[in-house]
Amino acid sequence: MMKLKELESCLQQVDAFEEPKILLEQYPTSPHIAACMLYTIQSTFDDIEGKLVADLGCGCGVLSIGAAMLDAGLCVGFDIDEDALDIFRRNAEEFEISNVDLVQCDLCSLEPDAYAKKFDTVIMNPPFGTKHNQGMDMKFLKAALTMAKTAVYSLHKTSTREHIQKKANDWGVKMEVIAELRYDLPASYKFHKKKSVSSYTLSHHSLRQYMFSSRYFKLY
């Protein structure tokens, strides 16, 4: 298996958003966070290599490309934004990666059974669900839980942990925090006066033995 530092080094070459769209909360997943997340999923839980993986809100593809490098059978990226998917395609071509595919769609308006239980593993760094996107993070999580057969790994702000735990309980899902990662949010938009420090939690929802367990990386 590729070493963590090698994976992070490769992901540093993945192009990010050229003109991020605030309405879509387009913040890049840093190569460091992406590498730590994916390496943990594979080395600890064996949920990438040879698996059918979905990346929800894939953006420019850093998680999908990292999963492909860790020998996913196939990683399918889902995003609503055509511009982001164009960058994703370019990234995949530059790395000569063939075990990725793309789907342009609005995850919040998918038919509930459109991709039900179609993927072994779902990975995602969903929108934070703030401001005009209230609750978007939970909509992504709900979609992920319907799509995965085995596990969902998700990044969330630490401040939302109690809310996510409550939702997980409501949905009959066991949630587990498996890492806390410091996230230095770059000043991507005009209203950002300076970069801010946030935190992600990686959560994992496992479907083994008829139980969802959600593990998540926490951002702080």
pLDDT tens-digit readout, 14-40: 988 666 565 556 577 889 989 999 999
Residue 36 lies in a domain: no
Q: Is 50 exceeded by the pLDDT of residue 208?
A: no
Residue 193 lies in a domain: no
CB atoms within 10 A of CB 167: 18
Residue 30 lies in a domain: no
pLDDT 10s digits, 153-195: 998 877 788 888 888 888 888 888 877 777 665 544 443 344 4
**pTM, rounded to two decimals:** 0.84
| 8-12, 54-58, 129-133: the lowest-pLDDT one | 129-133
Instruction: Report how many domains make up the chain.
Output: 1
Residue 23 lies in a domain: no
Q: Is 70 exceeded by the pLDDT of residue 117?
A: yes
pLDDT for the residue numbered 197: 47
pLDDT for the residue numbered 14: 92
Residue 17 lies in a domain: no
Q: Which residues form the domain of 67?
A: 47-186
- At position 211, the amino acid (one-letter code) is M
pLDDT for the residue numbered 189: 40
CATH number at residue 71: 3.40.50.150
By C-alpha distance, which of 66, 91, 76, 68 is closest to 16? 91
On whether the CB atoms of residues 51 and 29 are closer than 8 A, the answer is no
pLDDT 10s digits, 74-114: 999 999 999 999 999 999 999 999 999 999 999 888 887 88
* Alpha carbon distance, N-terminus to C-terminus of the chain: 29
| 203: helix, strand or coil | strand
Residue 118 lies in a domain: yes
Residue 218 lies in a domain: no
Geometric angle at alpha carbon 82, from 78 and 87, rounded to 5°: 85
